[in-house]
Amino acid sequence: MADLSVKISNTIFKNPIFVASGTFGYGTENPELVDVSKLGAIVTKSITLNPREGNPPPRIVETHSGMINSIGLANIGVEKYISDMLPVYENMDTPIIMNIAGSSMREYIDVMKKVEDVSSNIVGYEINISCPNVKEGGMEFGVDCDMTEKLTSELRKLTDRLLIMKLSPNVTDISAIAISSENGGADAVSAINTVVGMSINHSSQFSNIYTTFGGLSGPAIKPVGLACVHKVYHRVNIPIIGIGGIVNSDDVIEYFLAGSCSVQVGTANFRNPGITEIILHDLNNYLNEKHIDSISSLIGRVKTHG
């Protein structure tokens, strides 16, 4: 049996297949559809200080090989998250990574402080500095090195749990933002969030998304995700969690070769909520057939021609 376990800072995950924020609710909704105990980890949807309705519909549209969303960070807010979700996690043996979003540095800090003030078994935080669908905050942090480093270091002071910064591909140089995250004390970065996109109905001549622009995800962005991971891999010493268009075990292997130490499956969950079980099964078979002892031995091993 190949060793599928992966290590991020001091935390060991039983396998590298995580589910991505925004594609698996709060991690408590899918028990009959998916055996969540098989997942490496669940990353929750983004939680903000106050509840949010999100953007008006239409806010999701399918595209060639992907989808565009502009949900606008709809969520129940941190108080309800603490009262309703944290107790449920106590009975789950799947590691939970809470995703936090904010419209200001104060908001990110306040959300994390509230969670740190109560007892819970969450293993870490993924900080959303890359949402393209809100007017304030979100991507504003993830496109600016100084703001990224400052936010990371402020949050680092608040927690000993895993601190993961989720990076945007909608920047000139993603590795500069990754370096700022590392300098601020992040344990890891996730790459990538969605790529800004647009979809138009030629017949009605309307934009298919209320906010005109949204975030493109799914197989259409896999090459962008691989390139971002590989660029970041050469510039930082912290682990990278690869995200973007993963639908099968071959995609996982490719993300490892590019430099990821684990991956998140996102949009594919909407098509088949049980896809992660299939990916895990096939990944195991692949490694055994190729006599690869440990998935971690593949990290960054892509052969380039230069």
Chain residues binding ligand SIN by CB under 6 A are 22, 46, 69-73, 128, 130-131, 133, 193-194, 215
CB of 21 to ligand SIN, least distance (A): 7
Q: Which is nearer to ligand SIN, 72 or 225 (CB)?
A: 72
What distance in Å separates the CA atoms of residue 244 and residue 267, rounded to the nearest whole number? Answer: 8
Task: Check residue 188 and give left, alpha or beta (phi > 0: left; psi -120 to 50: alpha).
Answer: beta
CB of 68 to ligand SIN, least distance (A): 10
Q: Which is nearer to ligand SIN, 170 or 260 (CB)?
A: 170
CB of 3 to ligand SIN, least distance (A): 32
CB of 203 to ligand SIN, least distance (A): 26
Q: Which is nearer to ligand SIN, 17 or 243 (CB)?
A: 243
Catalytic pick among 131, 145, 228, 261: 131
Q: Which is nearer to ligand SIN, 74 or 302 (CB)?
A: 74
Indicate the pairing of strand 66-69 with strand 162-167.
Answer: unpaired
What is the rounded radius of gyration, in angstroms, for the C-alpha atoms of the chain?
18
CB of 149 to ligand SIN, least distance (A): 20
- Using CA atoms in the order 57, 58, 62, 67, what is the torsion angle rounded to 10 degrees? -50
Q: Is 261 a catalytic residue?
A: no
What distance in Å separates the CA atoms of residue 133 and residue 112, rounded to the nearest whole number? Answer: 22
Contact 76, 84 (CB under 8 A): yes
Contacts of 79 (CB under 8 A, 6+ apart): 114
Residue 269's alpha-carbon distances to 18, 32, 218, in angstroms, are: 11, 14, 10
Q: Which residues pair with 129 in a beta bridge?
A: none
Q: Which is nearer to ligand SIN, 115 or 243 (CB)?
A: 243
> Among all residues, which ones are annotated catalytic?
131
